[in-house]
Chain A
Amino acid sequence: MTLPQALIVEDDERLSEIFATAVRAANYEVTIAQDGREALSQLDQMIPDLVVLDLHLPHVMGPEIKDKLKANDRFQQTRVIIATADARLADEMRAEELFILLKPVSVAQLNTLATRLYPNHD
């Protein structure tokens, strides 16, 4: 059985490991991108079911990636969780239809949300 795909976009290696473990525990197959450019290149090759997206990233910033995901029909089914330490940007995005987690994001919190967003989850 093929597992749903999750893309973790996070430039801090410690956090990408923590987030990946939390999402894997929710039964996703996880790919990690360490910067914005790598994330875009991964998105050319895959259609993830879930993206966990940091906002401050090298090369290409998170909001740009989020906008590309929203604008492209290929990613219509992709759910995006914003995991950011930038409270100001998080505030600005609160009005959008997004799942926003302000760091520190606990493993339990991310795991619960990833489980809730699991494809075909009741």
Chain B
Amino acid sequence: METALSTRQKKRQTAEGQKRPWPLSLPLRLVIVGLVFLVYAFSFLTLFGRIGPAAGALMFVPAAVSAGILGRVWTGALAGVAAVLLNITLLYVAGADGLQIMTTGGLPGSILVILMATVIGGLSQLLTRLRIQSRELAIARDQALAANRVKTEILSKVSHDLRTPINAILGYAELIAGEAYGPVTAAQKEKLATIIQSSQELEYMVSDLLDVNRLEAGRLKLQIKPVPTASLMERLLVIFRPRATAKGLTLAGEIGPGVPAEVETDPQRLNQILTNLVDNALKYTHEGEVQIYFERPDPDHWAVRVADTGRGIAPEAQTFIFDAFRQADYLESHNESGVGLGLAIVSDLTEMMGGEVQLESGRGTGSTFTIILPLQPEEST
């Protein structure tokens, strides 16, 4: 409904733009042109008594004004011809002799006026076309902004509406597993753990969708405060070690020399970046290890490196791995799970924090993502 309406509106607005490039209608413009010629004729006759046939040299004025108002190459030429003819008539009426008419209204002067009026008509036509194009661009921009607003609203609503039922699934599974409603067998607990983990994955996907949306809408603000680097590392190891162990992988964490004990950052957003990177590393690594390394590449920055021994990222995918929706297409076509927004969020959030993401990877050689962040970030963007 929304799209159909927008398309109709677009067609109507475009048609209006093409039909009415001028604020004044054609008849009104013709009337104005007539008045211009009349004023010129009156002025000519008045001036002729004082300065003689030289008054005819002013014929470029009505020609230029009319060519500009009529706004086409051919109407410009026509206005020039009309001005020349009117001038000759006026000279004749005012009593100029043949030589005077030839001198003032002669061929070189006439050609010059006609050429000038034609050029002015052409310029006017060009300006009109530019005005139409600019109006069409403005309409297209408004439509794109409106479509983006609708998308933002829909994503916000979907995210909001999904969160309550996910909460019910997660909450009841936790309560049942915690035997709030009576004893539960070990096998049932195992399945409940799967329900809890699945609902958390679902929540991550909803959060990713929402965050992409918030980043695009510029609604996400940073809250910078000092955060102990050791607690950042500890959190990652506590969250991900059980999963790494269950997959037979080693998850190693190390804080390198020179990394401050505390860094100024938005802990929520930084944790989101790191969670996404480690989650991806574990997802795509089937043997070997995932290493998290905090380092100090230079005096003004600190960095987090997440390296895995997974299958790596194909060179063709590396060009768009941080592009939200293209990556989603790629993942779908390669039978990968997830909505593929994690790296887009990593990239956008890192950029928002004044940092940059680097990727080193090759097919079969694992991947290393490095997030380089300023030690003195800006408060918010």
Give A residues with C-beta under 8 Å from B.
12, 14-15, 18-19, 21-22, 85-88, 91, 94-95, 102-108
Q: Are B160 and A15 in contact (CB under 8 A)?
A: no
- A91 to B, closest residue via Cβ: B219
Query: At the interface, yes or no: B172 with Cβ under 8 Å from chain A?
Result: yes
- The docked-state distance in angstroms from the alpha carbon of A18 to that of B156 is 24
Q: List the 4 closest pairs (A to B, CB-CB), nearest first.
A: A18-B171, A85-B163, A104-B167, A14-B168
Question: Is residue B214 within 8 Å, beta carbon to beta carbon, of the partner chain?
Answer: yes
A-B contact sample (16 more), CB < 8 A, given A18-B171, A85-B163, A108-B174? A14-B172, A18-B168, A18-B175, A22-B171, A85-B159, A85-B160, A85-B164, A86-B160, A87-B159, A102-B163, A103-B166, A103-B167, A104-B171, A104-B200, A105-B167, A106-B170
Q: Can you spell out 13 A-B residue pairs with CB atoms less than 8 angstroms apart? A: A85-B161, A85-B164, A88-B156, A91-B214, A91-B221, A102-B163, A104-B167, A104-B169, A104-B170, A106-B170, A106-B171, A107-B175, A108-B174
Compute how far the CA of A108 lies from the CA of B173 in the bound complex, rounded to whole angstroms: 12
Q: How many angstroms between the C-alpha atoms of A15 and B174 in the bound complex?
A: 12
Count residues of chain B with CB under 8 A from any CB of chain A. 27
Judged by a CB distance under 8 angstroms, whether B220 is at the interface is yes
Q: Report how far A15 CA is from B203 CA in the complex, Å.
A: 16
Q: Which of A19, A95, A104, A107 contacts B163 (CB 8 A)?
A: A104
- Check B180 for interface membership: any CB of A closer than 8 A: yes
Establish whether residues B214 and A94, one from each chain, have CB atoms under 8 Å apart when the complex forms: no
Q: What is the minimal beta-carbon distance from B14 to any residue of chain A, in angstroms?
A: 34
| B178: interface (CB < 8 Å) | yes
A22 CB, min distance to chain B CBs, angstroms:
8
Contact residues in A for B163 (Cβ distance below 8 Å): 85, 102-104
Q: Any chain A CB within 8 A of the CB of B309? A: no
A95, B268: Cα distance in complex, Å: 13
Instruction: Given A18-B172, A91-B220, A108-B174, verify A103-B164 contact (CB < 8 Å).
Output: yes
A102 to B164, CA, bound (A): 10
Which residues of B149-189 have CB atoms within 8 Å of chain A's CB atoms?
A: 156, 159-161, 163-164, 166-172, 174-175, 178, 180
A91-B214, A91-B220, A94-B221 known; A21 vs B164 contact (CB < 8 Å): no
Which single residue of chain B is at the shortest CB-CB distance from A94? Answer: B223
CB of B167 within 8 A of CB of A85, answer: yes
What is the bound-complex CA distance between A95 and B223, given in angstroms? 8
Q: Does B199 contact A (CB under 8 A)?
A: yes
Enumerate chain A residues within 8 angstroms of B65, measured Cβ to Cβ. Answer: none
Q: Report the Cα distance A104→B161, complex, angstroms.
A: 11
Best-buried of B163, B203, B210, B214 by chain A (most CB within 10 Å): B163
Minimum C-beta distance from B286 to chain A (A): 29
In Å, the complex CA distance between A94 and B108 comes to: 78
Give A87 to B153 CA distance when docked, in angstroms: 12
Give CA–CA (A87, B174) in the complex, Å. Answer: 23
